[in-house]
């Protein structure tokens, strides 16, 4: 209905720019850094890229020197047990669920109930929805208790982990709404942390959508090594 209304408005206004600004205002966003400017300074043909092995003596020496430097703070390693489940890749959505995901979700409830110090992260609501339909009352109650206790965290809460390169804005937003409606209805929660570890590259659209939805941060993975080095250096 919104598109139909705008279309009629443009037709009557003869596509005047004032109408475009009125119904589709350009929203300005701010960021802590300009990634386009930083990108121009990256070096992509570093020597170690041509090496047969990623790890070499130079890296080993650097690790040992850093490890023995008393002026540096100790390394902190954060381990986040999780399971990435593609709704569609080599197999179909249902095949993935039947062969893998059902057992994973069953084991999440079973193992977290057994090991009281264990935590877990889940994000693909499409699979959680399918599992929920056949889960027992006991499984559902255990799942909700784990969520409420903070031991099982729903990250992003989208229906899928959206691709960030080829997907249109409205598809990104639609799956986010779909997933958030589900977690609010069945778990009565609102996700606050994004989890985007498998899309091939990270764009600015998804972080913008998450920020507008009140998210406090996000975890990303598939970025160029130059970016990982930059973030590690400047944090």
Cβ atoms within 10 Å, residue 65: 10
List phi, psi (to 5°) of 32: -80, -15
Cβ atoms within 10 Å, residue 113: 16
With contact defined as beta carbons under 8 Å apart, do 219 and 197 qualify? yes
| Separation between Cα atoms, residue 101 and residue 128, nearest integer Å | 9
Torsion angle defined by CA atoms of residues 169, 174, 177 and 181, in that order, rounded to the nearest 10 degrees: -170
Measured CA distances, 187 to 7, 153, 161, 212 (Å): 39, 11, 19, 22
Token pair in block for residue 113:
């109930």
With contact defined as beta carbons under 8 Å apart, do 206 and 194 qualify? yes
98 is catalytic: no
Catalytic residue of the set 86, 163, 174, 198: 198
Q: Is 172 exposed, middle or buried (0-12, 13-18, 19+ CB in 10 A)?
A: buried
Backbone φ/ψ region at 203: left (φ over 0), alpha (ψ -120 to 50), beta: beta
Could you give the residue numbers annotated as active site?
198
């Amino acid at each position: 209905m919104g598109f139909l209304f705008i279309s009629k408005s443009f037709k009557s206004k003869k596509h005047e720019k004032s109408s475009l600004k009125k119904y589709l205002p350009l929203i300005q966003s701010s960021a802590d850094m300009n990634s386009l400017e930083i990108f121009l300074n990256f070096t992509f043909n570093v020597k170690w890229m041509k090496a047969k092995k990623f790890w070499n003596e130079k890296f080993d020496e650097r690790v040992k020197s850093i490890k023995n430097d008393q002026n540096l703070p100790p390394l902190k390693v954060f381990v986040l047990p999780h399971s990435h489940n593609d709704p569609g890749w080599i197999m179909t959505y249902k095949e993935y669920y039947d062969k893998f995901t059902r057992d994973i979700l069953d084991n999440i409830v079973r193992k977290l109930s057994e090991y009281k110090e264990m935590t877990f992260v889940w994000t693909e609501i499409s699979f959680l929805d399918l599992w929920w339909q056949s889960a027992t009352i006991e499984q559902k109650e255990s799942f909700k208790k784990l969520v409420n206790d903070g031991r099982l965290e729903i990250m992003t809460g989208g229906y899928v982990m959206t691709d960030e390169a080829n997907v249109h804005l409205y598809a990104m937003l639609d799956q986010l709404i779909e997933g958030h409606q589900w977690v609010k209805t069945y778990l009565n929660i609102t996700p606050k942390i994004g989890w985007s570890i498998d899309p091939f590259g990270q764009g600015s659209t998804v972080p913008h959508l998450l920020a507008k939805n009140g998210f406090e941060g996000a975890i990303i993975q598939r970025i160029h090594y130059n970016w990982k080095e930059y973030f590690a250096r400047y944090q």
